[in-house]
């Protein structure tokens, strides 16, 4: 059995606990665990990241920039919450929007509709060539929320 990343510190730690219970019931012969960040101290929780980031954004005048892993949906949703609490908009890349679309299509609860959610904007950077999925996404966004498509200017 392969676990992937066991996350007891995120917003969905209950899913990890459920996995542990169900995996134990299967009595696997071998358990392979992913481990890329050995903890020597107490890990920072997503709630702590949210609180600290919220305070930093509240203090920022003008543009606030945050960078996080491209598939870290929890973090993306945390920054969407920060945008709402600070009366800002969250500018996302096409890959982020595509991820939200896929999660919504799969029925993932709590995932916002990027086309309807006024807090979400799409950043379009200049490119000589776009992939087909990116062109299609850009056209969808321009058709549904053209006022929330932005570029570097």
Q: What is the pLDDT of residues 114-147, one digit of tens each?
A: 999 999 999 999 999 999 999 999 999 999 999 9
Q: Are residues 39 and 101 in the same domain?
A: no
Residues spanned by the domain of 16: 1-43
pLDDT at 89: 96
Question: Which residue is listed with tokens 């309807």?
Answer: 116
Q: Are residues 67 and 126 in the same domain?
A: yes
Within a domain: 79: yes
| Euclidean distance between CA atoms 93 and 120, whole angstroms | 10
pLDDT at 39: 60
For 75, other C-beta atoms within 10 Å of its C-beta total: 18
pLDDT at 12: 78
Q: Are residues 39 and 66 in the same domain?
A: no
Q: How many domains is the chain built from? A: 2
Q: Give the pLDDT mean for 50-78.
A: 91
pLDDT at 114: 96
pLDDT greater than 70 at residue 34:
no
Tokens of 107: 């029925």
Q: Is the dihedral of CA 89, 92, 98, 104 positive or negative?
A: negative
Q: Are residues 38 and 79 in the same domain?
A: no
Q: Are residues 8 and 39 in the same domain?
A: yes
Strands 149-150 and 90-92: unpaired
Q: Are residues 35 and 72 in the same domain?
A: no
- Which of 104, 115, 48, 57 lies closest to 84, judged by CA? 57
């Amino acid at each position: 059995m392969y676990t992937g990343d066991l996350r007891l510190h995120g917003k969905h730690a209950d899913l990890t606990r459920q996995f542990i219970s169900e995996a134990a019931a299967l009595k696997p012969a071998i358990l392979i665990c992913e481990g890329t960040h050995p903890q020597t101290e107490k890990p920072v929780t997503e709630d702590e990241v949210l609180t600290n980031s919220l305070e930093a954004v509240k203090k920022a005048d003008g543009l606030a920039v945050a960078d996080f892993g491209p598939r870290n949906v929890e973090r993306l949703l945390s920054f969407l919450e920060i945008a709402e609490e600070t009366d800002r908009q969250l500018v996302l890349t096409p890959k982020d929007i595509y991820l939200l679309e896929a999660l919504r299509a799969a029925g993932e609860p709590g995932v916002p509709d990027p086309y309807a959610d006024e807090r979400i904007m799409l950043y379009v950077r200049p490119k000589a060539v776009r992939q087909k999925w990116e062109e299609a996404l850009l056209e969808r966004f321009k058709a549904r929320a053209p006022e929330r498509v932005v570029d570097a200017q």
